[in-house]
Structures are given as structure tokens and as C-alpha cells.
Chain A
Amino acid sequence: MSAPSCPMDVGEPAEHQLLEVSLGPHHPSTHGVFRMDVSLDGETVVKLKPVFGYLHRNHEKIAEKASYLSSIPYTDRLDYICSLTNNCAYVMTVEKLAGLVAPERAEYIRVILCELTRLINHSALAGFLLQDMGALGTPLMYAFREREKILDLFESLTGSRMMCNYMRFGGCRCDLPPGWLEQARAVVANFPSFLDEFEALLTGNEILQARTEGVGVLSPQLAVSAGVTGPMLRASGVNYDIRKVDSYSVYGRLNFRVPLGERGDVFDRYMIRILEMRESLKILEQALRDIPAGPIMDPKAKLRNLRPKAGEAYGRIEGPKGELGFYIISDGGPNPYRYRIRPPSLINLTILEDLCLGRPVADAVVILGSVDIVLGEVDR
């Protein structure tokens, strides 16, 4: 009798059979249209292949054909939970390229909006992570209830809740409406009580601890060599925050600390986001207190027909998910010659297999949740 070619052949002993499972793309725990081709030995992951590209929209090529202004609404759709940080990174790169300087008030507005975006992202992420562990609904709904309040602020300022399209080269599109700062201060003042409630609900929960402690440990060496950035990197104990390293915008004047993890497991990644939200609230308090009056646009800036002189620029900010960078080459024309994005989600995703190997398949879902991806940014 010839040797069986199919591994699923009944002739083979059960302990050597690998089961290939396709997790996704239509699976709520994959945070969008993302597929993991997992090979399982029993319940243990022995091989994991991330498959993405289902949400590819040709963003970079479209941006090379559109004017500099027309690309801003498209950047909203990269990481659609945090449209304002995407706007900010893009306009900062173009400002670098075109030699524009945003006035101080505009910089403060940007910092306030970026930190509010960080609050949205981290609270939503914590909710989704718990959803992945089977806490269906409750933590996510609590997180979304707070997110709504910040989205209301965005709507009254920018006109849209998620696709804000607010920042412009050399400043911001419009000034803050009257009373906005007071509303923002009220939201910021109420946020710590939500965080306390959220922590009382979750952090001490034994099921959460059992599911997350020691799961998906990312060593600092691997994190650095794979180019992982953001809360993922800091949860592994590497002190690298672009807000501190570059001190871009007005972050150099604001007093805040960078929380670091010790073990680099899923629990640390959850905890680091809670702590970062508390630091963001500190930044917000200072920025909302210190925001000066004045113009919001660089007088040299023009909206249409921007033709930066030939050259290249790389601009980066500390986005909620990691280092969000834009690389733009101009040949002096009305549209970029080359437009490239460094998406933190995609690069943080590259170590997924290393984290999941040897773990049960149920942990793979939790680990993916803790990586914090948004497919709009992974696929572009």
C-alpha cells in the first residue's frame, strides 16, 4: 500500500494531524477584514500566516494623482478610529516639505485633538480586547459611551464625528467654536471617573488576569528588531515615545510621563493603554489651560495649488498605535511624486506569529486584540 499523501488520511495517527483553520476574514475578533491562516496541532498554534489586503484602496497611488489638499480626507480613512492623528501626521509632513510653520494656537489645538484621539483609541481598544476574551458587550459599551462624548466635541468643531478632515498645511481649518474649550474641559474632568470605573470593572478581574498574564510575551529585543512602536513597544519595557524623542509640536512644553511595561505580555499591553490615557489627560489639562489666543493659519499658507519645491520629507508623530510616518517626495508639481505611509498597525502586526506560536488558538485571538490593528491602515 502506497504512503498516504493527504495528512488528513485516516491511516495516520491522530497526534500527528495538523488542522488548518482559516480565522476570518468575516470574524468579529479580527478587527475588520483580516484573516489568519492557522495550523493547529490539537489546540496549539504551530504556524500562523496573516493574510490581509481585503481593504486595499490604493490610497498611496490616489494621493500621487490628487492635489496635496485632496489627500487630507483620504488620510481620515487610514486608521478610521483616529482620523485626527492621521491628519496631523500628513499636514506636518507637508509643512516640512513646503516650509510652513503652524501658529502656536494651531499647534495647541492639534495636541488637544491628538490626545483626545488617543483617549478614543485606547478606550475603544480596551473594550474590543475584552470583547475578544468573551466579555461581550459590557466593557465595549462603557468605552463607547465615553467615546461618544469626545466624538460630540469633534463634531461641533470639525463637522464630522469620525472623518474629521480638520487640519490644513500651516494650521487648522477653522477656529474653535465658542464654548468648545469649556466643553472639552468638562469631558476631560469627567474622564478619570470613567477610567476608575473601567479599572474597577476589569483590572482586578481574575478571568482577565488568567487570560492575559504571561500570554503573548514580546521580548524587547524582538520588538526593537521588528520595528514595533507605540504602546506595544513600551509594554515590553523599551522607553521610546516620539512625543519625547522628537518633542514635535508643543509636546516639549508639556509635562507628562511615559508608562512602561515589565513583562510585555497582553496584560501589560492592556495596562499600558490605561496608564497612557491617564497621562493623556494630564497633557490635555495643561494644553487646555495654556492654549493661547491668536491666528490659526500661517499667513504664507495657501489652500489650493500648493506646489512645494522639489525635495523630500519624512514626518512622524506618535500616533495612538505607534509611529505614524508619511514620506513625501515632491518634484515641484501640484501633486506628490511619491507618497508613502509608515503604518504602525501593519508593522506591529509582523510579529504576530512569534507571539502566537505554542499558544492555544483562543489566545491567538486575544493576542491579536492586544496588537491593536485597524485594517484601514494595514491595507491602505
Chain B
Amino acid sequence: MNGAGIIKGMVETARNFAGSYYDPQRLTTVQYPEEKLPPVENARTIPFLVYDGDDAMAGLRCTACTICEKECPPQCIYIIKDTIKKADYVGKLQMQPKVFDIDISVCMSCGICAEVCPFDAIKMDQVFELSARDRFAALLLHKTQLAKPDDYFVKLHKTEASDINGRREENKRKTEAAAAAKAAAPKAPVAPGAAKEGLK
């Protein structure tokens, strides 16, 4: 018990203290409200709904299939299907949600909804300053508040979005080609064969 170990430890503390003035390795604090860290591409907070085009409600990709509602671990998604169908990006008629609510006071930001969605309609946002004075209504987001344009998604998740949008472009081109082939050969006896030809 001669105190040599304590002195050695104090030297270490002093090195860290002095180092915190010039060494970025030891100066790790970010002065949060004034400074912010750069966003991380994969980061996720709460979900949002992606829409194409200018009209948010008309361009929603969601088809109200309720897969996310079923798989959501804390069951924070609430969907009611609309009775009127609307055309999706390839012109096929799809269901649409009449009500699409997410209770973000329950959401645990796991990202399973975005993972299971077969239509790439729900994706994870990166907003984090979400506190509100009202505990209930302000944290229950409706589809009008959840809808965000495709550009926003591309801005947040560049790599993922370029994959998805590439696939969608491809699908659209194929469908258009198939439709064009069908229109060009109206007398073809079997429509599926013509469509297949159009794909090539």
C-alpha cells in the first residue's frame, strides 16, 4: 500500500485531461443542439409512407395489404382498407388504405414493417426530435402526416433506394413493353404468349 498505483492512475487521468484540449481522439463530446453528427445511412427511427408524384394521397405506394400491421411486434399500426381501388405505378389496380395510423408512442423502431413490405411502401425515417406536449393525439400519426415523397427516401437511404428504384423502373419498362406488344398484335390468339414475347 505505497500509493504508486494511485499515482500512476492519476498520471493517466492527467494525460486524458490535457489531451482533451487538442487531441480529437480524447475530445469526443458533440455540443448537441448547436452541433449535430452527420446522418448515418442505415439509421432508423420511425416509419414513414413513401409516395410517388406530386399528390401525396394519390401517389401512396401502400396497397393496404396489412402485412406490416400483422408483423409489427408492438402492434402500433392500424389500417382500414378503402373501398375504391387506385392504379399503382405500373397501372394495375390496387387497394389503398382509407386509414393508416402509426402510434409512434408505441413504435419501437425495429424496422420490421419496412423489411416485410412487398411494395416498398413503408420505410424508416431518421427524424428524432419527436417530443410533443400532447401524449396522445400528437403522437398518433395519420397517413397524411406519414406520407413523404420518394425523393426524401432517396436522400436518406441512397444505396437501398437506388436498388429499389432500379427494380421499379425495370418492372415499369417491362409492363409498358408488354402493353405495347399487346397493342401492336391485337389479333394474337393467346394474350399471355404475346405478353411474354413483349418481355424479350
Residues of chain A having any CB pair with chain B under 8 Å: 66-67, 69-74, 76, 138, 142, 145, 148, 155-160, 163, 165, 173-174, 177, 197, 200-210, 303-304
Contacts and interface: CB of A to CB of B under 8 A. Distances in A.
A155 B111 contact: no
Contacts of A208: 5
A177 B73 contact: no
Contact of B9 (A66, A69, A71, A200): A200
B9 A202 contact: yes
A73 B108 contact: yes
A174 B115 CA distance: 10
What 7 A-B pairs come out closest when comparing CB atoms?
A204-B5, A73-B110, A70-B73, A159-B44, A159-B42, A201-B12, A201-B9
Interface residues on B, range: 20 to 34
Interface string B51-90: 0000000000000000100111100000000000000000
B179 to A, nearest CB: 31
A201 B115 CA distance: 45
Nearest to A152: B40
Contacts of B124: 159
A159 B111 contact: yes
Contacts of B91: none
A158 B42 contact: yes
Interface string B1-22: 1111110110111001000000
A148 B30 CA distance: 12
A208 B3 CA distance: 11
Contacts of A67: 70-71
A156 B42 contact: yes
Contacts of B188: none
B31 interface: no
B42 A157 contact: yes
B43 A160 contact: yes
Interface string B100-136: 0000000011111001100000001000000000000
A165 B111 contact: yes
B41 interface: yes
Contacts of A74: 73
B6 to A, nearest CB: 6
B42 A205 contact: no
Contacts of A204: 4-5, 8-9
Chain A binding site: helix, strand, loop or mixed by DSSP?
helix
Contacts of B3: 206
Interface of B: 1-6, 8-9, 11-13, 16, 26, 28, 40-44, 67, 70-73, 108-112, 115-116, 124, 159
Given A155-B43, A210-B1, A304-B71, 10 more contacts: A70-B71, A73-B112, A138-B13, A159-B44, A160-B109, A163-B110, A177-B41, A201-B12, A204-B5, A205-B6
8 contacts: A70-B112, A156-B42, A159-B40, A160-B109, A163-B110, A165-B110, A205-B8, A206-B5
Contacts of B40: 155-156, 159
A69 B16 contact: no
A228 B12 CA distance: 35
B152 to A, nearest CB: 17
Contacts of A210: 1
A156 B42 CA distance: 6
A76 B44 CA distance: 15
A202 B159 CA distance: 45
Nearest to B118: A304
A163 B108 contact: yes
A173 B9 contact: no
Nearest to B42: A159
Given A159-B43, A177-B41, A200-B12, A205 B72 contact: no
Contacts of A174: 42
Contacts of A76: 110
B42 A173 contact: no
Contact of A205 (B5, B26, B70): B5
Given A159-B43, A159-B111, A204-B4, A148 B28 contact: yes
Nearest to B159: A177
Contacts of A209: 5
A229 B110 CA distance: 30
B44 A303 contact: no
A304 B110 contact: no
Contact of A206 (B2, B72, B111): B2
A76 B74 CA distance: 13
A177 B70 CA distance: 29
A96 B16 CA distance: 48
Nearest to B72: A70
Contacts of A155: 40, 42-43
Contacts of A156: 40-42
B3 to A, nearest CB: 6
Nearest to B10: A201
B10 to A, nearest CB: 9
A177 B40 CA distance: 11
Contacts of B8: 200-201, 204-205
A70 B42 CA distance: 20
